[in-house]
Homo-oligomer: A and B are copies of this chain.
Amino acid sequence: MPKDRAPTRIQKKNRAAILEAALNVFSAHGFRGATVDQIATEAGLSKPNLLYYFPSKEAIHTALLSGLLETWLAPLHDLDADGDPMEEILAYIRRKLEMSRDLPRESRLFANELVQGAPRIHASLSNDLKTLVDEKTAILTQWMDEGKIARLHPHHLIFSIWALTQHYADFDVQVRAILGDEDPFEGAEPFIDTLYRKLLTP
């Protein structure tokens, strides 16, 4: 295992390569379905070499998830109580949809984990995620109280945004099987935009 000092040039490069490869493999096959060998090969390393940088398969997975959770939640974090309600929410939705398009691996990484009961990130959900969501639903509720947007169950409003946007990344195969050549996001963006404009208009 590399020492605890400042990481060398090689350490930086290899750690990054490993996490990149792990993202590919874990998101495509789930934790159990991924093999250390596969990740190592994709990162251009031998298996023992990979295990020189991370002590175990589990450690790679954990590092990936915790490293990406912040990225994943950033758009919600940005929801600003002082902004225009409708524009803030629509901007959030747009960013989430962009993330489904541009970061589908990240989306599927979390989807894999969640579908199987989140055995490895359960704590983060009940703490970090819940805290953030509660904070933001408070803003939504305030906007509803002020009559700026329609009154709805704020938690389910958030869930609906996650569901609608992440669907395109997580169930990409299904979407493409049905749409054929049509670009999913071409139609999804105006559809979802219209949906929330209608829904949120008081």
Interface residues of A (CB under 8 A from B): 28-33, 108, 111-112, 114-118, 122, 125-126, 129-130, 133-134, 150, 152-153, 155-160, 162-164, 166-168, 170-171, 173-175, 177-179, 187-188, 190-192, 194-195, 198-199
Contact = CB atoms under 8 A, between A and B. Distances in A.
A182 B145 CA distance: 22
Nearest to A179: B155
A119 to B, nearest CB: 9
A125 B173 contact: yes
Given A160-B164, A167-B159, A177 B33 contact: no
| Copies, count | 2
Given A32-B32, A167-B162, A114 B173 contact: yes
Given A115-B115, A171-B114, A179-B155, A195 B160 contact: yes
The 7 closest A-B pairs by CB, nearest first: A163-B167, A32-B33, A125-B177, A156-B191, A163-B163, A153-B187, A118-B173
Nearest to A126: B177
A70 to B, nearest CB: 17
